[in-house]
Amino acid sequence: MDIQLTKNSDIPQHQQLAEQIVFLITTGKLRPSERLPSVRALARRLGIHRNTVSKAYQDVVRRGWVRGRPGSRLCVAPAVYLRGRPTHDNLDELIDQSTERARAMGYSLSVLRQRVAARLALQPPDHFLVVEYEPGLRKIIRAEIYAALGKRVEGCSPDQFLKSPALAAGAQVVVPEYAFHLLEPVVYSDWPPIRLLFCTADAHIKFVQHLRAPSIIAVASVSKTFLKTARSVLASAVGRQHSFREVLVGARERPDLRGADVVFCDSLTISMVRCKRKLHYQLISQECMAEIAAILELFAVPNRRLEA
């Protein structure tokens, strides 16, 4: 695990560690069901007390990011395997595996062929539905998908979705990977959800590390979660050399942050903030957005054939 902790920060090390574990999960660097190092091993690797690691692990377990079983190491909470998840398997191998699994479940090849044909003949979705707990993150995800793909985007929380699965009617559901397991009880009649992976902050961390003079660094976002994660992820780079500000931006605000040397902005605040220098942090990774666009191309194929 790529973890960078610092003592030169007002943020407790256990909080830095917990938030960075969460960040590694949301960016795909820690995969579902992947085991975490033992408390002792990680403490030794990071040069910190075991109680610090234990407290961080307890936090991510309590919040549902990580799960554990008696007598075994903690692991990232497993996500449901759904369509849209990238695979490095050869396509023929993937088809063979799916066929064998269907036969093992008692389905004949004729039934499998019919079901596959029916799935491919489904009408394409006419909009996206973002399922995410935090309203601010939902807004950012919706804005980025609309800007990239130009389709209508709606949003709801997992609780709302589970209570009213009909919200998915005519929609392509997109869900951050860490929330996949929350949707397990739902049986889909249309296309299953596509998982979302978030961008890493490697370039932003390097930018701060290369600042020579003490600077005022701010992060502006419409999301409380975005701000909380950014604070811990940037903590080691900011240290005590620089000053750090978090700015939660309302829908109609135009914050004046010209007192800051650099401001990291999400995809909504990038056009709202007035400052000397601002850097954009796109939440959804480019690879993930390209995957969504490619799936939309697959949806469009039956339509093109009909028009021909």
- Which has the higher per-residue pLDDT, 117 or 280? 280
Which pairs from 208-215 meet CB under 8 Å and 24+ separation?
A: 208/234, 208/237, 208/238, 208/242, 209/237, 211/242, 211/261, 211/262, 214/241, 214/242, 214/243, 215/242, 215/243, 215/261, 215/262
142 & 172 share domain:
yes
Among 136, 174, 122, smallest CA distance to 153 is for 174
Residue with tokens 């066929």: 99
Domain edge (last residue) among 60, 76, 92: 76
Helix pair angle (286-307, 135-149), 10° resolution: 50
Residue 184 within a domain: yes
| pLDDT at residue 217 is higher than 70 | yes
Domain tally, the chain = 3
267 assigned to some structural domain: yes
Question: Is residue 300 located within the same domain as residue 168?
Answer: yes
Q: Are residues 216 and 248 in the same domain?
A: yes
Beta bridge partners of 247: 220
- Residue (of 267, 256, 189) closest to 222 by Cα position: 267
159 located within any domain? yes
pTM of the predicted model, to two decimals? 0.74
Q: What tokens were used for 183?
A: 């949707």
Residue 30: pLDDT over 70 = yes
Assigned domain for 218 exists: yes
Cα 96-101-107 angle, rounded to 5 deg:
110
Q: Assess whether 213 and 183 both reside in one domain.
A: no
Q: What percent of the chain has pLDDT over 70?
A: 84
Which regions of the chain does DSSP assign to beta strands (E)? 66-67, 75-76, 127-131, 153-156, 171-176, 194-196, 216-221, 243-248, 262-265, 278-280
Instruction: Give the tens place of pLDDT for each residue, 142-187.
Output: 999 999 999 899 999 988 988 888 888 888 889 987 777 777 656 4
Mean pLDDT of the chain: 84
161 & 296 share domain: yes
CB 295 within 8 A of CB 194: yes
Domain annotation covers residue 164: yes
What pLDDT is attached to residue 177? 78
Look at residue 100 and tell me if it is in a domain: no
Are residues 183 and 39 part of one domain? no
Band the pLDDT of 36: cuts 50, 70, 90.
Answer: very high
Nearest to 296 by CA among 115, 84, 142, 29: 84
- Contact assessment for residue 174 and residue 145, using Cβ atoms and an 8 Å cutoff: yes
Do 153 and 292 sit in the same domain of this protein? yes
Q: What is the per-residue pLDDT across 85-136, written as a single tens digit (0 to 9) for each?
A: 444 446 666 776 677 777 777 777 777 777 776 665 566 788 899 999 999 9
229-265: pLDDT as tens digits: 999 999 999 999 999 999 999 978 899 999 999 999 9
Alpha-carbon distance 65 to 19, whole Å? 11
pLDDT score recorded for residue 125? 80
Residue 115 half-sphere exposure toward CB, CA atoms < 13 A: 11
Rg of the chain, C-alpha, whole Å: 22
38 and 164 assigned to the same domain: no
Listed residues 76, 108, 131: the one ending a domain: 76
Domain that holds residue 270: 202-280
State the pLDDT at residue 264: 97
Task: With cut-offs at 50, 70 and 90, classify the pLDDT of residue 306.
Answer: very low
For residues 67 and 128, state if they share a domain.
Answer: no
* Domain containing residue 177: CATH number: 3.40.50
More confident residue, 63 or 43: 43
Contact present, 213 and 185 (Cβ < 8 Å) = no
> Residues 64-85: pLDDT tens digits?
888 887 677 898 886 533 233 4
